[in-house]
Amino acid sequence: MTTFDDLRAKVEANQDVVTVRMEELRDAMNVKRLGIHVCQDISKKLAGVGLGHTPELEPDGWQEVRLYKLGTPMADLIVAALNPGDAGDNALREKSASEASETLEHIRSLVCA
């Protein structure tokens, strides 16, 4: 049986982000049926082990949910993408520019070696 600690380990093993179905989260709660209150409890349990999620949890076992580790660059990127506005846009631009710069440096090191 999957636990919330198992889910955290799964996220960490996948570079701080992974998509699961609600049925897996339901099973981690050790309940048979999903409801509004169970979804709220799942969200609290995830936060308790340092995980965020998107989208809002629905009582649908087939719903896909993206889990991510809070306090990581991945979380910053996901939050920026989900929150339109100047701050989010700037965060996305900065991440994009730094990735391009890192790629260019890597290519230079390969070519000039």
Q: What is the pLDDT of residues 5-27, one digit of tens each?
A: 999 999 999 999 999 999 999 99
In angstroms, the Cα distances linking 16 to 1, 27, 28, 69, 71 are 21, 21, 19, 5, 10
Residue 83 has pLDDT above 70, yes or no: yes
How many CB atoms are located within 10 Å of the residue 46 CB? Answer: 23
Taking residues 33-59, report their average pLDDT: 96
Distance CA 47, CA 106 (A): 36
Provide the mean pLDDT of the chain: 89
